[in-house]
Amino acid sequence: MNDQQAEYIFSKFKYSVSKGLIYDNRAIRIAPRVQNLLLCLLEAQGDYVDQRKFSNFLKLKCPVSPTAFWRTAYLLRRVLKDKNDNIIYTGYGEGIRLTCKIKIENKELEKQIELQKSRDNLFSSALQSEEMVRTAFELASSRTDRSLQLAGSVLEEAFIRYPTLAIAPSLQADLEISRIIRGYCSCRKSETKILSLIEQALRIDPRLPSALASKGWMTGVAEGDYKTALTFIDLSLTIKPNLWLGYFYKAWILIGDHRLDEAEEVIDQSLLISPLERGLLGLKGWIVLVKDGVEKTQKFIDEMLVLRPDVDLLWILSAIVSIKNCEPENALAKLMMAKKFYPDDFYVDANLAWVNAKAGHHSEALNFITKFKRSGSRYISPVKLAMIRTALGDSIGAKNSLKMAEIDKDPWRLFVKYDPRLLE
């Protein structure tokens, strides 16, 4: 996290405090959205955090799960350069409670951290299992097909070693959903595997928020049952109000149900929780493009690319804006920026093929389709093929691709009504 990103996170943190969102009304515990903002802030470099000048202690008390506990402890050690001298583990009832007091004033950081755990053996296994989960997160961070598959393998091994680790199959399901969204695999072919992973997680923990949210997304996308899908997702957010992925999935389903205004409200709410999450930023930019036009979209994109230049969907949206402004060469330059972060990625390449088609470089666009057909082992979203064929003037081919999107249960078919690349 660089200084600009940390500054942005910090502004969101101050906003939440100013609006009285730091505590919920049911107990003396930090509001979930502020938990996430604080964790994001702690991810900044220690010397940057020292520059923040608070005159009072922030007193934060919140019950946390082993997962949240380990992530918090890890971040605090990393940021505060603590060698475990100030991290104390003691028994406490049935769960783990974190009490954190942080004082930042005149570049001096005082801290007192008390971490209390219920059972030594639970905590010991949690440390080992969380290490594997964290490794999976790190592998998946680039969002390439290879990295997502490797992360899934780590989670599969974690579940074999720790059969009660419900989060492992749940996260593995989320990674498979990510592969579907990025067009690396077919929802129809992956549906059985994903639902099996979700059910494994829910058998261990019937109220696991991430698994409920994933089940909701699959119910909406694969089965077209938006009402039941939203029921699952809303339950997950009731249990864990700071689950950003739940908001992301909910917005996706609302878009499919043609409730764009509600989807935007959900995304805006989620950005208070996780302001720099790539999926949320991409979806927000897409909604702004559909609702508010090119000028506001480019303004939003320019602001966010300073903070997250690695979000390929922002570059893709910016390229769409350039095409709408009759600037095809500028659009190509923006797609090349996306390729800088994803050099061998069919998701980015499909959008590059669309831009080439719109720019009049039909041979390059046709070469992409030919390359896809010849690859055999590669999959690409039928909706993406439809948008390329639309740009090439092949209306029959585009219609056939959209029919295949229904058969393959392509999640992007939920966006077809609004996608400017298909409304030509």
- By the 8 A CB rule, do 248 and 280 touch? yes
Distance (Å, rounded) from C-alpha 239 to C-alpha 237?
5
* 213 domain-assigned: no
> Rounded mean pLDDT of 278-296?
93
- By the 8 A CB rule, do 208 and 234 touch? no
Q: Quickly state the pLDDT bin for 44 (edges 50, 70, 90).
A: very low
> Rounded mean pLDDT of 76-80?
45
pLDDT above 70 (res 74): no
Q: Quickly state the pLDDT bin for 146 (edges 50, 70, 90).
A: confident
pLDDT above 80 (res 373): no
* 415 domain-assigned: yes
Per-residue pLDDT, 11 = 64
Per-residue pLDDT, 15 = 59
* 223 domain-assigned: no
Same domain (yes/no): 84, 95: yes
Same domain (yes/no): 39, 97: yes
pLDDT digits 0-9 by tens, 185-207: 999 999 999 999 999 999 999 99
Out of 9-13, 48-52, 55-59, give the one with best mean pLDDT: 9-13
Type of residue at 34: V
Token pair recorded at residue 156: 């599969």
Give Dmax over CA atoms of the chain in angstroms: 68
Same domain (yes/no): 46, 106: yes
Same domain (yes/no): 62, 34: yes
Same domain (yes/no): 70, 127: no
Residue 106 lies in domain: 3-118
Point out the domain boundary residue: 118, 150, 174: 118
- By the 8 A CB rule, do 293 and 57 touch? no
* 200 domain-assigned: yes
Residue 102's beta-bridge partner residues? 58, 111
> Rounded mean pLDDT of 84-105?
34
Same domain (yes/no): 125, 201: yes
Same domain (yes/no): 104, 16: yes
Per-residue pLDDT, 14 = 56
pLDDT digits 0-9 by tens, 266-278: 999 898 888 888 8
Same domain (yes/no): 57, 36: yes
Per-residue pLDDT, 53 = 30
* Choice between 80 and 54, residue whose per-residue pLDDT is larger: 80
Same domain (yes/no): 360, 423: yes
pLDDT above 80 (res 300): yes
Per-residue pLDDT, 109 = 34
Mean pLDDT of the chain: 76
Same domain (yes/no): 179, 200: yes
Q: Quickly state the pLDDT bin for 235 (edges 50, 70, 90).
A: very high
Same domain (yes/no): 83, 124: no
CA distances from 225 to 185, 222, 231, 256 (A): 22, 8, 10, 10
Per-residue pLDDT, 29 = 36
Q: Quickly state the pLDDT bin for 24 (edges 50, 70, 90).
A: very low
Give CA angle at 169 (166, 172), nearest 5°: 140
* 405 domain-assigned: yes
Domain count, the chain: 3
Handedness of CA 323, 335, 151, 307 (dihedral sign): negative
* 193 domain-assigned: yes
Lowest mean per-residue pLDDT among 90-99, 149-158, 284-293, 345-354 = 90-99
Point out the domain boundary residue: 206, 241, 273: 206
Same domain (yes/no): 160, 72: no
Token pair recorded at residue 424: 């030509």
Handedness of CA 15, 19, 20, 21 (dihedral sign): negative
Per-residue pLDDT, 377 = 60
Point out the domain boundary residue: 183, 206, 229: 206
* 262 domain-assigned: no
* 133 domain-assigned: yes
